A and B are shown apart, each in its own frame.
Chain A
């Protein structure tokens, strides 16, 4: 292979017990690139990094370093170094000895160690601290030492596991700039793990967005921000309003009860889609003339640079708007969205599709229990079928015991006039639910479905 991929990850999977933490991960890193693995906590990003570092062995797949598979090589033989989340500086060694630790193990001559350590400490502006014990340092200083300790070995790739998470906001901003500068000066490839989307957008050449063990999107910060491929990415990166819509035809989309021009093509005609509108892309004005639709301002909060307003549109949707001018709550405003600012995304699913088995002419078994429903006469008991349940036909109850089975609200998305929830059942199946009720992440719910709302169809193949 003659490509310039320093790291190439192929079909990587990992499970802890029954939980699939990483599912068929594929991506590559170019030499000298700053790549960020971005995702919410528990998305598998740290597991992925630790597999690259060698602390966890993958179940399946390969990790190539400069074209060679390093999966079986122990961490101490990999030419990679890590900056750990809580620094992990050795408390029994002073700053100098911490930084020199790796070089001493390689039997680098003492003189050279001295030169390299001093140079590296100078680069992270810690020259005066050589003899200090590490626990007398502040969090930011420890961070610098940890970076120096890893970089002094000239690793082929530097792995950083949420290195700034423990610092306060101002320190974090300063360190971001310094990291960027160090990356530029050293020319070493960085793989950086964070859950902070702003940090990822600021630092990276390429962002890999992960959720629930799968890659959602890979792209430059601008790509990811402007053209999220699905509602998860759109919701996770930046502020946005995500709405249900219908692609009427190429370059024409309907949402919030109005039709809009857009720039997207190739979805087909009358196809349900998700539409993302960034709050800074909505034009808000006092007159209705020239507006595409109107709304009434519900609230207006000053956010330092701009005002953030929630507007109820003429068709009853809630829309987030950011503008440099403030608009009085209660006032009627005109609203406009430019075609290029409308991001249309294919829906991942339009209803719940569940694997089910016919029990008798009135019951099917799915999600681990028996459900009453209308079984068409074409199916016999024992047939394996698919059951479809519309998002808004799943009923949720406050009390787990009130439902047929229990579940937990796993993820929620506000779609302008209703919530779209991802519910994880007790058995670990996913159900997607549209509801007007307000739930929080982590709420325990009872789940029920009316017999008439379960539609059965044949499984393909």
Chain B
């Protein structure tokens, strides 16, 4: 009989072909010049070009701000939704999840048009507002999930040991829901840095994010520099997801 473990082979081949190899190609192109020779100039160009650097800084700033706002707005919402005393209807939960199912470009476009009609100048403010619109559900959902799955007996145990409701919230509920917050952050932060269409719509292309300059370079056939920028982003992803994951494992392991 054929061993069932061999069934993973087709997928392995597929993944090597369409995931590993393409990522290696990013690295390859990042360290090549137009004629295929090894060079570091693409990388050094990024670190010496003030435009690229400032775009990068703006992206990270916007991403941090967006993530923070999403946590601050989303956590209370998730907490209320998961609280049986305050919310009994599944419909409100569905209403919060629903935007996740609708094409992000469509939603962003609608938001931008609304801003236009209301007469707001498109810029940093509208960008942040729009980003929060787009990503808030992605923050609320994982937090809501962790809170729903959380065993009520932890809160009861804390109360039993003398913790008033507010103390229970800060000392037990919040620490135990951190894995949910972490995955929310991962779902919001990296996409914010890397998005291009959304920022273009929301600022009328006034503010460029990191994703936009990657897109522009690739589209204007400057593959090597585009690949170098993508390579830099890959490194950031590697670092954040490494930190995110190790912390998540710790907290999640604790939940079981």
Contact = CB atoms under 8 A, between A and B. Distances in A.
Direct contact of A and B (CB under 8 A): yes
Interface of A: 53-55, 74-77, 80-82, 84-86, 88-92, 101-102, 105-106, 133-135, 149-150, 153
Interface in B127-186: 151, 153-154, 156-165, 167-168, 171-172, 175-176, 178
Contacts of A88: 151, 153-154, 156-157
B180 to A, nearest CB: 13
Nearest to A99: B161
A153 B154 contact: no
A55 B167 CA distance: 17
A55 B161 contact: no
B161 A101 contact: yes
A101 B170 CA distance: 13
Interface of chain A, main secondary structure: mixed
Contacts of B167: 105
B98 interface: no
Nearest to B256: A135
Given A86-B153, A133-B254, A75 B176 contact: no
B218 interface: no
Given A84-B156, A84-B157, A135-B256, A92 B163 contact: no
- Which range holds the interface residue count of chain B? 20 to 34
Given A53-B160, A76-B164, 8 more contacts: A55-B156, A80-B160, A91-B251, A92-B175, A101-B161, A134-B254, A135-B256, A153-B161
B161 A105 contact: yes
B157 A106 contact: no
A92 B157 contact: no
Contacts of A82: 156-157, 160
Interface string B232-256: 0000000000000000000101111
Contact of B159 (A76, A85, A106, A134): A76
Interface of B: 151, 153-154, 156-165, 167-168, 171-172, 175-176, 178, 251, 253-256
Given A91-B254, A133-B254, A75 B160 contact: yes
Contacts of B178: 92
A82 B156 CA distance: 9
Nearest to B164: A76
Contact of A75 (B151, B153, B156, B253): B156
A416 B217 CA distance: 90
Given A90-B172, A92-B175, A135-B254, A76 B154 contact: no
Nearest to B251: A92
A102 B153 contact: no
B193 to A, nearest CB: 29
A92 B254 contact: yes
Nearest to A93: B175
A75 B165 CA distance: 10
14 contacts: A75-B156, A75-B159, A80-B160, A84-B153, A88-B151, A88-B156, A88-B157, A91-B251, A91-B254, A92-B251, A101-B158, A106-B162, A135-B256, A150-B160
